[in-house]
Every structure is written in structure tokens, then in C-alpha cells.
Amino acid sequence: MGILEVNQVYKYFGGVKANENISLSVEQGTIVGLIGPNGSGKTTLFNSIVGTHPIDKGSIKFEGKEVSELPIPVVAKLGLLRTFQQTRIYGKLDCIQNMLISHRHIEKGLLSVFAKIPEELNDKAEKLLKFVGLYQKRKLRAGDLSFGQQKLLELAMALMNEPKMLLLDEPTAGINPTLINGIIDRLIKVNKEFGITLLVIEHNMRVIMSLAQKIFCLAHGQMLAEGTPEQIKNNKHVIDAYLGAE
């Protein structure tokens, strides 16, 4: 059984069938890709998984636990984290603060939030900022960073939280081609060294083919194909969906 099991999920927005009978399973420790044309329901599926909106039908299990009814912070605390397509960082805080607040906080009553932030967290934050290459700019406001750097910061923030599984929504969108290689390397490192399972939405075929061990393809809210990168590359339905043949 996989770390994430999505089973026959339906999500309609009025008449729009955003997700219809979607099932997918992600094995622990793998990198899995999720592709599909624009508007095919990839981000909706992400939202359903982390609990942004309730699903109409079906079940979503994380580590064997049903999460489709849980609120967002609770799902995040279980170790299932997402990043956003439109990068979301805390613009007026500096990078270090962005990192510190992303640390997973184990609550021992409401008052524990008034404890001082421990020193060793600072070291951890700086180490991760070095990992994504932002150490030099750690004292700058996150909102002043370029878009690509904000994406890297968001990745570092997610790592700070030490999740078991990360859902990445287009991690390389809007990033210059030379930096993309750096991101691929880092994502592979994240997977290998930190042992974090990744589910990646990506439009850049080169990226997803070199990253993922298994790929799911959505189109019009339905699961179109699944398989290894080789199989997907040669799947006629996938090519039709992307190139628009009927």
C-alpha cells in the first residue's frame, strides 16, 4: 500500500466536472509526476488532497488514515505538505523568519507558542537556505526576492517543516533554464537524502521525465494514462491530449 492512496475521487464545481473518478497511489519514497493540459484538474486534486475543499465522493488516505474530512492545518501536521503554483511566502518577513515560522511546531498547549525560538532552529534554517542557494540573501525581505528565488524559498520552507510527503505545484514554472537544472538536482536530493516522497505537477516535460519514476496524466478531469516516463512518452492518448487531436 502506498503512502498516499486516492480512491475514486469526484469533485464538481456546479456543472464543471473538475475531477471524475480519479484514483492514484504514490509509493513511499518515490517521485511521482502529475501532468495534463491546463484546466485538466491537477490543482483541484491537490486542493482536495490537502483539504482546501471537501470532495464530493471517494476517499483519500495518507499513511492509511482518511484525510479527506480533515481541515488544512491538521493534514499539514500529519506531514503532508503542498507548495503553491502562485508562490506564497511571507513577503514582509525576512528569509530567516520565513524559515523559522515554517518549522513544525509541536503544540503543548496554547502557551507553548510564547516560548522563545530556540537557537538551533536558526542553524537549521541557514543550512536549508544554503541548500537552495539563498543564504546570502537571508536578511532580505522575502517580498523583495525575485520570483524564482521566492520559489526556492518556498521549497526551503517546506523542507523546514520536515514533511513525509510534498506536493509540488509546478516547481519550475517561471524559473530560468539554467536554474531549472539546479532545482531538479535539489528535488532528487530532497527525495534521496531527506527521504521525502514527492508528487509533482509539472508542464515542463524535460523536467518531469528526468525526475519521476511514475507519471499520471489527467485530461478533462479524468485519468487518461499512467505509467513510467517511457510509456507516457509513447502513449497516443497523452500526445493527443497535449497536441489537441480529437
Partner 1 sequence: MSRNKLIGYGLLLVFGLVAPFLFPAFKLQISIMWLLVVLSLTWDTQGGQMGYNSFGNIMFFGIGMYVCSSFHIGMFFSLAEWTEGGGEKTFLHTSLQYFQGLSVGLILSGIVPAIVAALIGYGILGLRGHYFAICTLGLGIAMGEIASGIELIGAGQGMTTPPWPKGIGGVELRSQFYYYLCFALMVITFLFLRWVYQTRFGLVLNAIRDNEDKAEAMGIHTMRYKITGWVISAFFLGIAGGLMGNMIGYIEPTEIAFAGASYGVFMVLMAILGGKGTLWGPVIGAIVFHIFKEGFWIFFLGWQYVALGLLIVLIVVFFPEGIMGWLREKFPERFGEVIDEADRKAQVELE
Stretch that binds partner 1, among 7-15, 18-26, 88-96, 215-223 (CB under 8 A): 88-96
Phi, psi of 209 (to 5 degrees): -65, -35
54: left (phi over 0), alpha (psi -120 to 50) or beta: beta
Asked if 115 touches partner 1 (CB under 8 A), the answer is: yes
Asked if 77 touches partner 1 (CB under 8 A), the answer is: yes
Minimum distance, C-beta of residue 96 to partner 1, in the bound complex (Å): 10
Among 141, 164, 203, 220, binds partner 1 (CB under 8 A): 141
Pick 121 or 205: Cβ nearer partner 1: 121
Among 1, 16, 72, 239, binds partner 1 (CB under 8 A): 72
Q: How far is CA 138 from CA 121, 124, 162, 185, in A?
A: 14, 13, 20, 22
Among 8, 28, 136, 213, binds partner 1 (CB under 8 A): 136
Helices 147-160 and 95-102: crossing angle in degrees, nearest 10, is 30
Rounded to an integer, what distance in angstroms lies between the CA atom of residue 213 and that of residue 221? 23
Rounded to an integer, what distance in angstroms lies between the CA atom of residue 205 and that of residue 112? 45
Asked if 105 touches partner 1 (CB under 8 A), the answer is: yes
Asked if 135 touches partner 1 (CB under 8 A), the answer is: yes
Among 43, 44, 68, 102, binds partner 1 (CB under 8 A): 102
